[in-house]
Amino acid sequence: MEMPKTRQTSPEFDFDTTKRGWMGHGTHVAVHRHRQGQFLYPSTGVLATTTELGTWVAPADRLTWTPPGFEHSHRAYGETEVRVLEVPRELCDGLPGRPTVFAVTPLLREVLVALTTDRPFQPGARERLCRVVLDELTDIPEQFVYLPEPRDDRLRAATALLHADPATSATLAELGRAVGAGERTLSRLFQAELGMSFHQWRTLLRVQHALVHLLDGRPVTSTALACGWSNPTSFIEAFTAIVGQTPGRYQSDLRRAR
């Protein structure tokens, strides 16, 4: 998949006082950290958050959480509208200690929109709405479109080949020969370092790329083939299990948001 050209911006983005703005396709926000916690809500497009642990991808209508002091960078795919909500450190204890992607309920969506528009609030109203966000998250399962990255040099070399060509049909044995490691060694490293099998990791990588293809308007069948699936049914099943909705429904939601 051809990746977008990088366009560097400042870590603070270019948001107005309402903490709402647009990131063009390919916009990259360099590695930085925040003193406070931060929610980013992409109502359109796709927003990727990358750390030394891996990459979390938030399709439109998901909510990305980044804890205070956690080094990370962002990249936008497609024209991405992002709303930002900062969370004081003292309210972060009940939230995950690493970046996370949450589903967004109708109530949560309305509260996020209210908090990131230019409107006056009665005394204390903004703080109460922020607590509604935290309360609403406690009942929402985390949506993990998360791709962990390895530390071992042999495994990093193997996953780099997959990053370069997610659709490759190369087996683990073939990847091992390319990087000078045995199949059993790589299989053990996938489980030990990444907590999943080679097949599971490659499926997550392919789904992340599929999100971008679908965002660009590519049909489901051609997206499946471009990302390495031999038939659309297998792709739809894998995509739905990870993202929580079918590729067709995901595209319909994108069109409606636009």
Q: Is-above-0.85 flag for pTM?
A: no
Residue 79 binned pLDDT confidence (cut-offs 50, 70, 90):
confident
Where are the chain's structural domains? Answer: 7-137, 150-257
Beta strands 46-51 and 54-59, pairing class: antiparallel
More confident residue, 162 or 118: 162
- CATH classification code of 7-137: 2.60.120.810
Is the per-residue pLDDT at 192 higher than 90?
A: yes
Given a contact cutoff of 8 angstroms between Cβ atoms, the answer to whether 158 and 186 are in contact is yes
Give tens-digit pLDDT for 41-66: 988 888 999 988 889 888 887 899 99
- Edge-to-edge strands, sheet with 80-87: 20-23, 80-87, 37-42, 62-66, 100-103
CATH classification of 150-257 is 3.20.20.70, yes or no?
Answer: no
User: What pLDDT was estimated at residue 7?
Assistant: 39
Burial of 212 (0-12, 13-18, 19+ CB in 10 A): buried
Residue 258 binned pLDDT confidence (cut-offs 50, 70, 90):
low
More confident residue, 46 or 172: 172
What does pLDDT average to over the chain?
86
The distance of Cα 74 from the centroid of its chain, to the nearest Å, equals 9
Given a contact cutoff of 8 angstroms between Cβ atoms, the answer to whether 133 and 102 are in contact is no
Six token digits for residue 126: 């903004």
Is the per-residue pLDDT at 78 higher than 70?
A: yes
Residue 15 binned pLDDT confidence (cut-offs 50, 70, 90):
very low
